[in-house]
């Protein structure tokens, strides 16, 4: 057994058995090892941003890490943007970066660079395999650090001589995950706040599933507190019969309004809310009113229900009844626009669907209509690094082959990692891709206005415009082996969605907005 | 005038008047400023790897920097791979990265990350605009550092409050480029070596144009020294009537053989040669025989002719006669393969063409046949970070609108930054794209063999295979607004090339190999 085989065997032994990969020469031992370690599945991406985004989607859906396999500093760098999103989602991921043989690094060969400097900003755990014999231990430690709680991104640099070196017998000792203990003082303090007379708000973030929502609903029913969901949660379960709370608005003016009467905010599975960007006309980062208290019951990377359950116990709160199902969405009449597109998708999406939402400005209609859809989960753009939607859909579909994945995808951000379509085709992933084609960086057009540049000139306008030429997403999909169609009417969108949902494997609908 | 306008005005005043951009919200002031600063041209890329690769191509062709405009850490990260290549090419580039307003950084908003840690590995100069009033000076200093000599990549972080703040009057003082003095001791030592009896070899790298080649030819004629070109030079001028020297082979065994009799190697515009990767069966990094001397006459980032001219003077060498033109390539008969593809391109490429060569294993035929083609320049993959070819072709075409650009592009690496095709269409760039479609990471298949993995299993094979599905580059090009065709015969390739060279704007030929 060599170091590469030992590394993969340690992963499989820890239950980590999917590796999203875009390898190069320094990963040849790891590539060869995939077939020598029973139970490891390798999934190829044509670009590293696909690989890391897929690992993010996989980790959000399963709660456990996938491996990525990346090529030196530049290959890793191509995956940083989606690792940034994963970091903000606290998604468990273990990156394996093949590096030059240790004795070759000082030669400063063409592909040499400072990998640690590149990796540190997105990695909560960073290690180098110091010898083949240490490959198992190093990978196990990385998996433990990624799994947490708190969970997050681990990065392991594998020098090629550590991969090809003889590793002797596999050390099968179990990995030790990090522990997390509920902060009883924080529970007690929050309980006191909720029993007091002030306006207390719970802000839920990270992975927000039924366990979190039920607990929050029970606490709200008993105490009258406010409950908000982070603007961009890693996972949000929602739909008919599931307790529902509003998401904090994206634009800071609206968020500040929403929180204007808050005396105390308690972050659960997240941190106190701040503006996505700092605006000159606002001049503040915090979205809370001056003087409001802010505390963290459970930090990011730990499931919020652990704090909420403890809080419910401290308050002696019993479970709330599930809400009545709201009316299911119906396929609307009229023209095809952002609102009717969202309603049509919501009306057709099946129970258990995973909706990866990188629709940006085109997502409003679906956000409203989906509350009445059958129970499902939605995955948001947690870190603002665009290009997550299609890769995360790849990973979600690998993680949950029995569920329908719908990628609700803005056209501008979809361009960053469109190579994802190829992996969808290769792996026959059941993804229905809905491209929201407004042919613009619409959010930037809004931001030009918001920042006082209504007088923007022709070059500035051109930098936010995606016409001349207009991309043809159906042709692009065909180029990657994915069938698709354009939709200009609600009837066409309906036909496309029905075909996509019925198709084994991927299908793309480009909605002209 | 605000800081953003001052920054762009300082660039235009220094002769830097092209900005390759993929902006976001934190760059809105810089976007708006483009139209307020006469003479600045903005070129949009759909992905940051296109933007930085285009700046690399532009800088290699013109010798001066373009700006890039990138969005925070994640946007910059998407451009790192091609900046890595630019760093290895010592290409002058000035990156402008919009960052949060300085007072918003501590809020750790979703898009916040450690930009400096990401930027340092690819930047020889790194600065932050500390106030609007300092925007001009900071950009000027960055341009000077990028221009050198030695030239290289500069990165400037522009906090949004430094962009929107009032900057007062534009300070029009001239920028001061770095100086470089020829090392007279190194010249004298090299002259002594060349006059001695040993086998001395000059290794030329970086931008290698006629000035370098003529000087090297003269020195060789007078002294009998060996002359090699770096395996992957930033620019190499070649063709009929131009002195020609072999490039150092890529595989280390061959390079070691080529240099086996060397007593002293003198690097000019580059550094001493090392293996691209460290191989277990070789166990060495250096390509020189044990005991051989190695020195640097002119470092990377400085044009080699400056050292060669001084050396020629010290040796009292007169100019060599230009070599007789070799026979021009002819369009071959037979089947379409790597060799006949290369010969056909070489036979049709016009004088002054810029051939961006990321053909990898498919480039052999062209490398051989192009020596007899009309004088032209070729740009290589300097840093091994694949995905440079199409972006560099974008930048080369923007830099030299009166010349034909041919992108000789492997299909695997082309996938990393295929969004470049859209910018070619939008800007109507005269690029003929030749996709060498072998539907494999062929170099990795070779490396599996070289590293002793001939027994690689099905998953390992699959990770180096680009079929299932087979990408359709003509469809992909159509999706980005670029016309194209497939070629399966020499006649079809010829027709495609002739159409591409005759077309105003881009054209793509997918050669099935």
Please determine, for residue B285, whether its predicted confidence score (pLDDT) is greater than 80: yes
Q: Looking at the structure, do residues B260 and B346 belong to the same domain, yes or no?
A: no
pLDDT at B324: 82
| B62 part of a folded domain | yes
pLDDT at B346: 97
Q: Looking at the structure, do residues B149 and B277 belong to the same domain, yes or no?
A: no
Please determine, for residue B172, whether its predicted confidence score (pLDDT) is greater than 60: no
Please determine, for residue B170, whether its predicted confidence score (pLDDT) is greater than 70: no
Please determine, for residue B9, whether its predicted confidence score (pLDDT) is greater than 90: yes
- Mean pLDDT of the region A52-58: 98
Percent of chain A with pLDDT over 70: 98
Question: Closest chain A residue to B414 measured between Cα atoms?
Answer: A46
Name chain A contacts of B118, Cβ cutoff 8 Å. Answer: 77, 80, 117-118, 121
Q: Looking at the structure, do residues B299 and B345 belong to the same domain, yes or no?
A: no
Please judge whether A468 and B114 are an interchain contact, meaning their C-beta atoms are less than 8 angstroms apart: no
What's the complex ipTM? 0.97
Q: Looking at the structure, do residues B366 and B462 belong to the same domain, yes or no?
A: yes
pLDDT at B468: 93
Please judge whether B444 and A31 are an interchain contact, meaning their C-beta atoms are less than 8 angstroms apart: yes
Question: What is the spatial distance between Cα A475 and Cα B471, in angstroms, rounded to a whole number?
Answer: 12
Question: What is the spatial distance between Cα A15 and Cα A39, in angstroms, rounded to a whole number?
Answer: 9
Which structure tokens are listed for A387?
């290009």
C-alpha angle B503/B506/B507, rounded to 5°?
75
Other C-beta atoms within 10 Å of A257: how many?
A: 12
Nearest by Cα to B11 from B247, B175, B208:
B175
Q: Looking at the structure, do residues A287 and A393 belong to the same domain, yes or no?
A: no
Q: Looking at the structure, do residues B134 and B245 belong to the same domain, yes or no?
A: no
Q: Output the average pLDDT for chain B.
A: 96
- Mean pLDDT of the region A321-349: 91
Question: What is the spatial distance between Cα B487 and Cα B481, in angstroms, rounded to a whole number?
Answer: 19
| B208 part of a folded domain | yes
- Classify burial at A38, counting beta carbons within 10 Å of its beta carbon; exposed 0-12, middle 13-18, buried 19 or more: exposed
Calculate how close chain A gets to B460, using CA atoms only, in Å.
5
pLDDT at A178: 64
Calculate how close chain A gets to B232, using CA atoms only, in Å.
9
pLDDT at A321: 81
Cβ distance B211 to B303 under 8 Å?
yes
Instruction: State the Cα torsion B85-B88-B94-B95 to the nearest 10°.
Output: 40
Calculate how close chain B gets to A415, using CA atoms only, in Å.
7
| A302 part of a folded domain | yes
Question: Closest chain A residue to B279 measured between Cα atoms?
Answer: A101
| B331 part of a folded domain | no
Name chain B contacts of A469, Cβ cutoff 8 Å. Answer: 422, 425-426, 480-481
Omega of the bond leading into B469 within 30 degrees of 0 (cis): yes
Please judge whether A117 and B118 are an interchain contact, meaning their C-beta atoms are less than 8 angstroms apart: yes
**DSSP assigned state of A247:** B
Q: Output the average pLDDT for chain A.
A: 96
Question: Closest chain B residue to A83 measured between Cα atoms?
Answer: B74
Percent of chain B with pLDDT over 90: 93
Please judge whether A463 and B103 are an interchain contact, meaning their C-beta atoms are less than 8 angstroms apart: no
Closest to A468 (Cβ–Cβ): which among B72, B78, B426?
B426
Please judge whether B110 and A46 are an interchain contact, meaning their C-beta atoms are less than 8 angstroms apart: no
Q: Looking at the structure, do residues A503 and A371 belong to the same domain, yes or no?
A: yes
Name chain A contacts of B81, Cβ cutoff 8 Å. Answer: 74-75, 77-78
Owning domain of residue A103: 3-164
| A289 part of a folded domain | yes
Which residues have C-beta within 8 Å of that of residue B124, sequence separation ≥ 6? B87, B145, B150, B152, B153, B154
Calculate how close chain B gets to A148, using CA atoms only, in Å.
21
- pLDDT one-digit tens code per residue, B342-389: 999 999 999 999 999 999 999 999 999 999 899 999 999 999 999 999
Please determine, for residue A177, whether its predicted confidence score (pLDDT) is greater than 80: no
Chains A, B: CB pairs < 8 Å: 329
Question: Closest chain B residue to A473 measured between Cα atoms?
Answer: B479
Cβ distance A49 to B80 under 8 Å?
no
Please judge whether A81 and B103 are an interchain contact, meaning their C-beta atoms are less than 8 angstroms apart: no
Q: Looking at the structure, do residues A279 and A420 belong to the same domain, yes or no?
A: no
Please judge whether A460 and B32 are an interchain contact, meaning their C-beta atoms are less than 8 angstroms apart: yes
DSSP strand pairing (B376-380 vs A354-358): unpaired
Please judge whether A479 and B481 are an interchain contact, meaning their C-beta atoms are less than 8 angstroms apart: no
Please judge whether A122 and B100 are an interchain contact, meaning their C-beta atoms are less than 8 angstroms apart: no
Closest to B104 (Cβ–Cβ): which among A106, A285, A466?
A285
Closest to A110 (Cβ–Cβ): which among B276, B459, B470?
B276
Instruction: Say how many domains are in chain B.
Output: 3
Name chain B contacts of A484, Cβ cutoff 8 Å. Answer: none
Please judge whether A25 and B462 are an interchain contact, meaning their C-beta atoms are less than 8 angstroms apart: no
3-state SS string over B249-310?
CCCHHHHHHHCCCCCEEEEECCCCCECCCCCCCCCCCECCCCCCEEEEEECCCCCHHHHHHH
Task: Determine the residue among A109, A155, A387 to mutate to test chain B binding: the one whose Cβ has the most chain B Cβ atoms within 10 Å.
Answer: A109
Name chain A contacts of B121, Cβ cutoff 8 Å. Answer: 73, 113-114, 117-118
pLDDT at B377: 98
CATH code assigned at A252: 3.40.50.1220
Sheet strands (E) in A148-263: 153-159, 200-204, 207-208, 226-229, 235-238
pLDDT at A172: 55
Question: Closest chain A residue to B110 measured between Cα atoms?
Answer: A383
Q: Looking at the structure, do residues B150 and B266 belong to the same domain, yes or no?
A: no
Name chain B contacts of A481, Cβ cutoff 8 Å. Answer: 469-472
Q: Looking at the structure, do residues B489 and B382 belong to the same domain, yes or no?
A: yes
Question: What is the spatial distance between Cα B387 and Cα B358, in angstroms, rounded to a whole number?
Answer: 8
Calculate how close chain B gets to A317, using CA atoms only, in Å.
34
Other C-beta atoms within 10 Å of B226: how many?
A: 18
CATH code assigned at A442: 3.40.50.970
- pLDDT one-digit tens code per residue, B440-451: 999 999 999 998
Please judge whether B382 and A84 are an interchain contact, meaning their C-beta atoms are less than 8 angstroms apart: no
Please judge whether B451 and A28 are an interchain contact, meaning their C-beta atoms are less than 8 angstroms apart: yes
pLDDT at B60: 98
Calculate how close chain B gets to A260, using CA atoms only, in Å.
19
**In chain B, count of helices (H) and strands (E)?**
21, 18
Local confidence band at B175 (pLDDT 50, 70, 90 cut-offs): low
Question: What is the spatial distance between Cα A345 and Cα B463, in angstroms, rounded to a whole number?
Answer: 35
Question: What is the spatial distance between Cα B85 and Cα A250, in angstroms, rounded to a whole number?
Answer: 37
- pLDDT one-digit tens code per residue, B390-425: 999 999 999 999 999 999 999 999 999 999 999 999
Which residues have C-beta within 8 Å of that of residue A229, sequence separation ≥ 6? A203, A204, A205, A208, A236, A245, A246, A247, A248
Please judge whether A25 and B77 are an interchain contact, meaning their C-beta atoms are less than 8 angstroms apart: no
Local confidence band at B169 (pLDDT 50, 70, 90 cut-offs): low
Please determine, for residue A60, whether its predicted confidence score (pLDDT) is greater than 80: yes
Q: Looking at the structure, do residues B47 and B102 belong to the same domain, yes or no?
A: yes
Which residues have C-beta within 8 Å of that of residue B493, sequence separation ≥ 6? B336, B341, B344, B345, B487, B509, B511
Q: Facing residues of B279 across strands?
A: none
- pLDDT one-digit tens code per residue, B291-343: 999 999 999 999 999 999 999 999 999 887 888 877 778 999 999 999 999 99
Name chain B contacts of A275, Cβ cutoff 8 Å. Answer: 104, 107, 109
| A320 part of a folded domain | no
Calculate how close chain A gets to B151, using CA atoms only, in Å.
17
Which residues have C-beta within 8 Å of that of residue A200, sequence separation ≥ 6? A190, A193, A194, A223, A225, A226, A262, A263, A264, A265, A266
Local confidence band at A12 (pLDDT 50, 70, 90 cut-offs): very high
* Residue B177: strand, helix, or coil: coil
Question: Which of residues A118 and A330 earns the better pLDDT score?
Answer: A118
Name chain B contacts of A455, Cβ cutoff 8 Å. Answer: 32
Q: Length of chain B in residues, anyone?
A: 513
Please judge whether B77 and A73 are an interchain contact, meaning their C-beta atoms are less than 8 angstroms apart: no
| A44 part of a folded domain | yes
Ranking A85-89, B120-124, B360-364 by mean pLDDT, the lowest is: B360-364
| B221 part of a folded domain | yes
Cβ distance B144 to B137 under 8 Å?
no
Task: Determine the residue among A449, A469, A472 to mutate to test chain B binding: the one whose Cβ has the most chain B Cβ atoms within 10 Å.
Answer: A469
- Mean pLDDT of the region B494-512: 97
Cβ distance A280 to A263 under 8 Å?
no
Q: Looking at the structure, do residues B490 and B362 belong to the same domain, yes or no?
A: yes
Closest to B479 (Cβ–Cβ): which among A32, A479, A481?
A479
pLDDT at A194: 97
Please judge whether A464 and B31 are an interchain contact, meaning their C-beta atoms are less than 8 angstroms apart: yes
Query: What is the 3-state composition of chain B as percent helix, strand, coil, each rounded to the nearest 5?
Result: 40, 20, 40
pLDDT at B445: 94
- pLDDT one-digit tens code per residue, A371-388: 989 999 999 999 999 999
Calculate how close chain A gets to B215, using CA atoms only, in Å.
26
- Mean pLDDT of the region A431-441: 96
Which residues have C-beta within 8 Å of that of residue B349, sequence separation ≥ 6? B355, B370, B373, B374, B376, B404, B406, B501
Question: Closest chain B residue to A286 measured between Cα atoms?
Answer: B107
**DSSP assigned state of B454:** T
Please judge whether A117 and B122 are an interchain contact, meaning their C-beta atoms are less than 8 angstroms apart: no
Please determine, for residue A170, whether its predicted confidence score (pLDDT) is greater than 80: no
Please judge whether A385 and B277 are an interchain contact, meaning their C-beta atoms are less than 8 angstroms apart: no
pTM of the prediction? 0.97
**Boundary of a domain, candidates A134, A164, A194:** A164
Closest to B448 (Cβ–Cβ): which among A28, A44, A412?
A28
Other C-beta atoms within 10 Å of B177: how many?
A: 16
Cβ distance B464 to B439 under 8 Å?
no
Please judge whether A103 and B275 are an interchain contact, meaning their C-beta atoms are less than 8 angstroms apart: no
């Amino acid at each position: 057994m060599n170091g590469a085989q030992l590394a993969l065997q340690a992963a499989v032994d820890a239950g980590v058995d999917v590796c999203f990969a875009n390898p190069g020469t320094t990963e040849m031992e790891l590539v060869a090892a995939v077939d020598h370690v029973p139970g490891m599945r390798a999934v190829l991406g044509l670009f590293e941003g696909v690989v890391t985004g897929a690992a993010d989607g996989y980790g959000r859906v399963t709660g456990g890490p996938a491996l990525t396999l990346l090529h030196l500093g530049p290959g890793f760098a191509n995956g940083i943007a989606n690792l940034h999103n994963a970091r903000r989602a606290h998604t468990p991921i273990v990156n394996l970066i093949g590096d030059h043989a240790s004795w070759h690094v000082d030669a400063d060969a063409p592909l040499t660079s400072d990998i640690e400097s590149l990796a540190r900003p997105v990695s909560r755990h960073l290690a180098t395999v110091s010898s083949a014999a240490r490959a198992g231990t190093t990978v196990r430690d990385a998996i433990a650090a990624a799994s947490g709680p708190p969970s997050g991104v681990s990065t392991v640099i594998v020098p090629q001589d550590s991969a090809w070196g003889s590793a002797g017998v596999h050390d099968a000792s179990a990995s030790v995950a990090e522990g997390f203990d509920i902060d009883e003082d924080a529970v007690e303090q929050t309980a006191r706040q909720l029993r007091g007379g002030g306006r207390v708000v719970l802000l839920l973030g990270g992975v927000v599933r039924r366990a979190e929502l039920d607990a929050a609903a029970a606490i709200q029913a008993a105490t009258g507190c406010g409950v908000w969901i982070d603007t961009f949660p890693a996972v949000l379960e929602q739909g008919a019969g599931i307790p529902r709370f509003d998401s904090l608005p994206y634009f800071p003016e609206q968020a500040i309004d929403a929180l204007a009467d808050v005396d105390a905010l308690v972050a659960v599975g997240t941190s106190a809310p701040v503006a996505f960007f700092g605006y000159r006309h606002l001049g503040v980062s915090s979205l809370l009113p001056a003087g409001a208290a802010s505390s963290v019951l459970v930090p990011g990377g730990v499931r919020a229900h652990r704090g909420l359950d403890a809080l419910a116990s401290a308050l002696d709160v019993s479970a709330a009844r599930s809400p009545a199902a709201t009316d299911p969405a119906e396929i609307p009449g009229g023209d095809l626009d952002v609102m009717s597109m969202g309603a049509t998708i919501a009306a057709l999406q099946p129970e258990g669907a995973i909706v990866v939402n990188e629709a940006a400005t085109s997502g409003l209609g679906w956000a409203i209509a989906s509350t009445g859809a059958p129970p499902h989960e939605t995955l948001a753009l947690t870190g603002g690094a665009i290009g997550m939607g299609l890769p995360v859909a790849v990973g979600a579909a690998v993680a949950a082959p029995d569920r329908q994945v719908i990628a609700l995808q803005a056209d501008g951000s979809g361009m960053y990692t469109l190579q994802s379509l190829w992996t969808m085709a290769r792996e026959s992933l059941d993804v229905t891709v809905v491209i929201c084609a407004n042919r613009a960086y619409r959010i930037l057009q809004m931001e030009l206005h918001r920042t006082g540049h209504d007088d923007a000139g022709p070059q500035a306008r051109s930098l936010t415009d995606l016409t001349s030429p207009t991309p043809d997403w159906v042709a692009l999909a065909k180029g990657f082996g994915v069938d698709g169609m354009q939709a200009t009417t609600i009837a066409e969108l309906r036909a496309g969605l029905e075909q996509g949902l019925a198709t084994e494997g991927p299908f793309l609908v480009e909605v002209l907005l």
